[in-house]
Amino acid sequence: MVKTILVKTKKHNYPINIGFDLFKTPYLFSNFKHGDQAMIVTNQKIFTLYFKKLSDILQYIGIKLDYIILPDGEKYKTLITMNIIYSSLLKKLHSRDTTLISLGGGVIGDITGFAASSYQRGVKLIQIPTTLLSQVDASIGGKTAVNHDLGKNMIGSFYQPNAVMINLNYLDTLSKREFSSGMAEVIKYSIIFDNIFFSWLEKNIDKLFNLDQKSIKYCIYKCCKFKSKIVCKDENEKNTRVLLNLGHTYGHAIESETNYNGKWLHGEAISVGIIMSCITSEKLNLFSNNDTIRIINLLKRCNLPVQNPKFMNTKKYLKYMFLDKKVHNNKIHLIIPVKIGKVIINNNITENIISDSIRQLNNLI
C-alpha cells in the first residue's frame, strides 16, 4: 500500500509517495505521455542496483529515456559536475519539456535538482531517493545546491520537484553506516517537533536497524509529514523552516574542513552538531542536561559519533560558522533546543559561549 503526502507550495503542489515495491506498476508515472523526454541522473552503484527496473517502466510507457552516471561522493557536488549534466542534456537535444529524474542519495538529489532549476531556466524534476537521509529530508522541500571549497551548499536555489517517490525497498542495500547517518536527521526531527516521537525512537531503534517494515514505514512517513508541513509554511526558509537546521551550523563546519572527502558523512557531522547545540542551550540555562544525555544515548545507539573530530578546534569551527548562510549582520543565528520537541532561533549567542560549547563536548561524554 502506497501512502501519499501532498506538499502544497505557492507555485505548485506535488505528492510524496511512500511504499514498498513502489515501481511494480507504472501508475505513479501517469503524468508522462508517450514520446516525452526524460533523463535519469544517478551514480554507478545505484545504476547497477536499480536502473534497469526503473528504465523498463519508463520505456514501457514510451518515454524517450537517457541517463547519466555521475561520480559518487559529496566531494563531487560541484559546479564542474553540474556542467556534465548540462553538456549531456544539450548533446542529446533535451528541450525545456524534458524531465530530470534523480535516482540516488542526497548528493545526486541536490545536484540534479539544481540542474533542473537552471537548465533552460527550469525543467520538470522527479526525486527518487535511495538513502534514508534523502528519503526523510534531502529529497523534500526543493533545496538544491552544490558545495564550494569555503562552505557547504553555498551555491543553489529553491526549486520544488514535481514528485517524490520513496521506495522503501532501496534501504535493503544501504550500508549500516549510511543508515546511521540518516538516523541523525530522523532524531533531529523528533528533537525539533515531537517528544513523543523521540520516545518512540528510543523504544523502536532496534526494529528500525533490523528494517522492520511497519516501523520503517511509520518512521519515514512521520518525518516526511514534519518536513512537508514546515515547507508549506515557509518554502524559501525565511522564518520557521530555519528550525530544520538544528545542529547544521556546527556540523557543516566539520564537513567543510574535511573538504567533503567522505571521512565524515553528513549525518555523522550533524550528530556532533546537535550535541553542541544542546550544550550551547544548557549554557544559556534553556535546556536540561538530562535531556542532553538522553539525546547522546540515542545517537550512540545509532552508532553515530558524539565527540569532536580530532582535526577540529574552536578556531576552525568559527571560521566556517561565520561563513554559514544563517549569519546575518556578522551574527551567528543558531538553532538550539529548549526541550525535546521544541527548538528556537537565537541570534544573541556570544562567541565565547560557542567556543566553550565546542571545547566542552569532549569532556561531557
Q: Which of 77, 94, 124, 143 is catalytic?
A: 143
Give catalytic status of residue 290 as yes or no: no
- Across residues 293-307, what is the average pLDDT? 97
What kind of fold does domain 3-173 have according to CATH?
Answer: Rossmann fold (3.40.50)
Task: Give the pLDDT of residue 238.
Answer: 86
CATH class of 182-364: mainly alpha
Q: Give the Cα separation of 69 and 86 in Å (integer).
A: 13
- Across residues 111-125, what is the average pLDDT? 97
Q: Which of 124, 222, 241, 333 is catalytic?
A: 241
Give catalytic status of residue 148 as yes or no: no
- Across residues 305-323, what is the average pLDDT? 90
Query: Cell numbers at residue 96, please?
Result: 525545456
Give catalytic status of residue 237 as yes or no: yes
Task: Give the pLDDT of residue 323.
Answer: 81
Q: Give the Cα separation of 307 and 275 in Å (integer).
A: 9
Above 80 in pLDDT, residue 75? yes
Q: What is the dihedral of CA 106, 108, 110, 112, to 10 degrees?
A: -150
What is the bridge-based pairing of β-strands 331-332 and 327-328? antiparallel
Query: Cell numbers at residue 187, please?
Result: 532524531
Q: Give the Cα separation of 190 and 341 in Å (integer).
A: 6
Which band of pLDDT confidence, cut at 50, 70 and 90, is reported for residue 71? very high
Q: Give the Cα separation of 176 and 122 in Å (integer).
A: 36
Q: Which of 252, 283, 325, 326 is catalytic?
A: 252
Higher local confidence (pLDDT), 239 or 215 = 215
In the chain, what are the domain boundaries? Answer: 3-173, 182-364
- Across residues 34-58, what is the average pLDDT? 96
Give catalytic status of residue 328 as yes or no: no
Task: Give the pLDDT of residue 297.
Answer: 98
Give catalytic status of residue 229 as yes or no: no
Task: Give the pLDDT of residue 328.
Answer: 65
Task: Give the pLDDT of residue 365.
Answer: 52
Q: Which of 94, 152, 188, 248 is catalytic?
A: 248
Give catalytic status of residue 185 as yes or no: yes
Give catalytic status of residue 362 as yes or no: no
DSSP state of 29: G
The residue with cell 550500508 is 175
Q: Which of 74, 178, 237, 268 is catalytic?
A: 237
User: Which residues make beta-bridge pairs with 104?
Assistant: 129
Give catalytic status of residue 301 as yes or no: no
Which band of pLDDT confidence, cut at 50, 70 and 90, is reported for residue 154? confident
Give catalytic status of residue 94 as yes or no: no
Task: Give the pLDDT of residue 149.
Answer: 82
Above 70 in pLDDT, residue 325? no
Task: Give the pLDDT of residue 364.
Answer: 59
Above 70 in pLDDT, residue 326? no
Secondary structure, 3-state, 83-145: HHHHHHHHHCCCCCCCEEEEEECHHHHHHHHHHHHHHHHCCEEEEEECCHHHHHHHCCCCEEE
Q: Which of 10, 91, 121, 328 is catalytic?
A: 121
Give catalytic status of residue 34 as yes or no: no
Tell me the pLDDT tens digit for each residue of 158-208: 999 999 999 999 999 999 999 999 999 999 999 999 999 999 999 999 999
Tell me the pLDDT tens digit for each residue of 342-357: 999 998 888 899 999 9
